[in-house]
Amino acid sequence: MAYLFTSESVSEGHPDKVADQISDALIDNFLAFDPESKVACETLVTTGQVILAGEVKSNTYLDVQQIARDVIKKIGYTKSEYMFEANSCGILSAIHEQSSDINQGVDRANKEDQGAGDQGMMFGYATNETENYMPLALDLSHAILIELANLRRENKEITYLRPDAKSQVTLEYSDDNKPVRIDAIVISTQHDDFGPEAEMLAKIKSDLVAILIPRIKAKYPQYAHLFNDNITYHINPTGKFVIGGPHGDTGLTGRKIIVDTYGGKGAHGGGAFSGKDPSKVDRSAAYATRHIAKNLVAAGLCDEILVQVSYAIGVAKPTSINVNTYGTAKVNLKDGEISSIVESIFDMRPYFIEQRLKLRNPIYSETAAYGHMGRKPETVTKTFTAPGGLSKTVEVELFTWEKLDFVDQVKAAFKL
């Protein structure tokens, strides 16, 4: 029997994502000037206020207040009527030095013996239902909000948009687990107050269906066939959405872990990503398991896979590695046997993950909105400025865990 599956996304202006982006901007700045920095930084945003808290071990000093303001400005909170504005909001820093008790479990005389920064389990997932090996409902949810943000910044076809927004896509799947059509789309977007509520809501719905949706279909032609005349649209279903962002809802780092990963497909170990340097396996091992999952599916080993890894704090070798191919494996091996071969291909000790994926670089700001997975690997040049005018320009690879650089090794190991 056909069934429905739903995933959601949130925009860069959503308060939780504002917090994530500030935390990851701090990570990038610390790593730019001291690649060995150990950072765990949390951010809280609310009406006119930003609070930074966390632990840092680094040789560099940063103007954390200015970094936060730059992020808020880039997102688009630049008007006083938003009640949260880049130049005027208060910023309190309660960042302090990392506990030496924790650090002794991570740093080692021999770097290869670097211990995991915490215990826990992490999951990576991949499916061949999209070109980027991501769940389709989440991919579409991200795409809707990326285009909505483009429309907001262009400020031409739609001129009343504000930064905060959420989306949700419900897909109908066939009996053989193939997406057939879009059943429902939910979009809630913050907007200017430009008239009577009924008229505002009617115009917003009309504009999003007539302007935004055609842009999605044009930009993502591989999904155009899923759109149909029977989609149920819920546009700002609660009514007007003028009060939003950190003024409408307090934001915290790490509260959108399903948006950040697979939209409810696969599994999640519970650890957030943003604000953590790569010694924290919550982040680095989640990237590494995604890298494994994507390369296994791309190599043709299976149609869908979930990879789990687990660690003990301070211990380099994982306590377990497990794969679940959901019965879609193309080789005559049990999942346990596949796990053993995977373990021989990918070294999952924290130091080797950092080296393989080049994680000690300032690459994290780009991850903090519209998902950490399924993004396009690319090389970019970034410039960072520290107090005193010290400037550093670096060339870095973004989204290295999305590279299909182990496909040949996987094919060889599994004789594909």
Q: What is the pLDDT of residue 227?
A: 96
E strand or H helix at 171, and its extent? strand 161-173
3-state percent breakdown (helix, strand, coil) of the chain, nearest 5: 35, 25, 40
88-117 exposure pattern, b = at least 16 Cβ within 10 A, e = fewer: ebebebebeebeeebeebbbeeeeeebbbb
Q: How far is CA 46 from the centre of its chain?
A: 22
Which of 79-83, 320-324, 384-388 is the least confident region? 384-388
Please give the single-letter amino acid code of residue 66: Q
Q: What is the pLDDT of residue 131?
A: 96
Q: How many CA atoms lie within 13 A of 375 on its CB side?
A: 22
Q: What is the pLDDT of residue 107?
A: 63
What is the tens place of the pLDDT at every residue in 239-266?
999 999 999 999 999 999 999 999 999 9
Residue 115's pLDDT band (boundaries 50, 70, 90)?
confident
Question: Under a CB-based contact definition with an 8 Å cutoff, are residues 328 and 303 in contact?
Answer: yes
∠ Cα 135 140 141 (to 5°)? 100
pLDDT above 90 covers a percentage of the chain that reads: 92
Q: If you average pLDDT over residues 325-354, what whole number do you get?
A: 97
Q: What is the pLDDT of residue 108?
A: 56
Q: What is the pLDDT of residue 78?
A: 97
Please give the single-letter amino acid code of residue 108: R
CATH 3.30.300.10 for domain 3-10+136-244? yes
∠ Cα 352 353 358 (to 5°)? 100
Which of 83-87, 94-98, 263-267, 298-302 is the least confident region? 94-98
- Is 240 flagged in the annotation as binding? yes
- The whole-angstrom separation of Cα 255 and Cα 222 is 31
- Is 409 flagged in the annotation as binding? no
∠ Cα 304 134 151 (to 5°)? 165
* Strand locations in 314-398 (E): 320-324, 378-385, 391-398
Q: What is the pLDDT of residue 102?
A: 54
- The whole-angstrom separation of Cα 31 and Cα 33 is 5
Q: What is the pLDDT of residue 390?
A: 86
Q: Please state the φ and ψ torsions of residue 123, each to the nearest 5 degrees.
A: -125, 145
- Is 276 flagged in the annotation as binding? yes
Please give the single-letter amino acid code of residue 337: E
- Is 164 flagged in the annotation as binding? yes
Q: Residue 235 to residues 134, 147, 165, 360: CA-CA distances in angstroms? A: 25, 15, 11, 41
What is the tens place of the pLDDT at every residue in 348-381?
999 999 999 999 999 999 999 999 999 999 999 9
Give the relative orientation of helices 15-33 and 64-75 as an angle to the nearest 10 degrees.
130
pTM: 0.96
What is the tens place of the pLDDT at every residue in 181-218?
999 999 999 999 999 999 999 999 999 999 999 999 99
pLDDT above 70 covers a percentage of the chain that reads: 97
CATH 3.30.300.10 for domain 15-107? yes
Residue owning tokens 């279903």: 237
pLDDT at 103 over 90: no
Please give the single-letter amino acid code of residue 237: P
Average pLDDT across the chain, whole number: 95
- Is 126 flagged in the annotation as binding? no
Q: Which two tokens stand for residue 149?
A: 């943000």
What is the tens place of the pLDDT at every residue in 128-150?
999 999 999 999 999 999 999 99
Same fold? 15-107, 120-128+261-414: yes
Q: If you average pLDDT over residues 255-284, what whole number do you get?
A: 97
Q: What is the pLDDT of residue 43?
A: 98
DSSP one-letter string for 74-125: HHT---GGGT--TTTSEEEEEEEEPPHHHHTTT--SSGGGPPBSS-EEEEEE
Q: What is the pLDDT of residue 113?
A: 73
Residue 105's pLDDT band (boundaries 50, 70, 90)?
low
- Is 42 flagged in the annotation as binding? yes
- Is 156 flagged in the annotation as binding? no
- Is 406 flagged in the annotation as binding? no
- Is 255 flagged in the annotation as binding? yes
- Residue 22's contacts (CB-CB under 8 Å, 6 or more residues apart) are 43, 45, 50, 52, 67, 68, 71, 72, 253
- Is 399 flagged in the annotation as binding? no
Return the CATH fold of 120-128+261-414.
GMP Synthetase; Chain A, domain 3 (3.30.300)
Which of 54-63, 151-160, 199-208, 320-329 is the least confident region? 54-63
Residue 276's pLDDT band (boundaries 50, 70, 90)?
very high
Q: What is the pLDDT of residue 111?
A: 75
Question: Under a CB-based contact definition with an 8 Å cutoff, are residues 267 and 324 in contact?
Answer: no
DSSP one-letter string for 218-279: HH-GGGGGG--TTPEEEESTTS---S-HHHHS-EETT--HHHHTTTTSS---S---TTB-TT
- The whole-angstrom separation of Cα 23 and Cα 25 is 6
Q: What is the pLDDT of residue 110?
A: 72
Question: Under a CB-based contact definition with an 8 Å cutoff, are residues 317 and 382 in contact?
Answer: no
Residue 82's pLDDT band (boundaries 50, 70, 90)?
very high
- The whole-angstrom separation of Cα 85 and Cα 186 is 28
Please give the single-letter amino acid code of residue 310: S
Q: Where are the domains positioned within the chain?
A: 3-10+136-244, 15-107, 120-128+261-414
Closest CA to 117 of 41, 39, 54: 39
Residue owning tokens 């215990």: 119
- Is 256 flagged in the annotation as binding? yes
Q: What is the pLDDT of residue 382?
A: 98
Closest CA to 22 of 51, 61, 55: 51
Residue 236's pLDDT band (boundaries 50, 70, 90)?
very high
Question: Under a CB-based contact definition with an 8 Å cutoff, are residues 269 and 121 in contact?
Answer: yes
Q: Which two tokens stand for residue 264?
A: 């409810």
pLDDT at 325 over 70: yes
- Is 55 flagged in the annotation as binding? yes
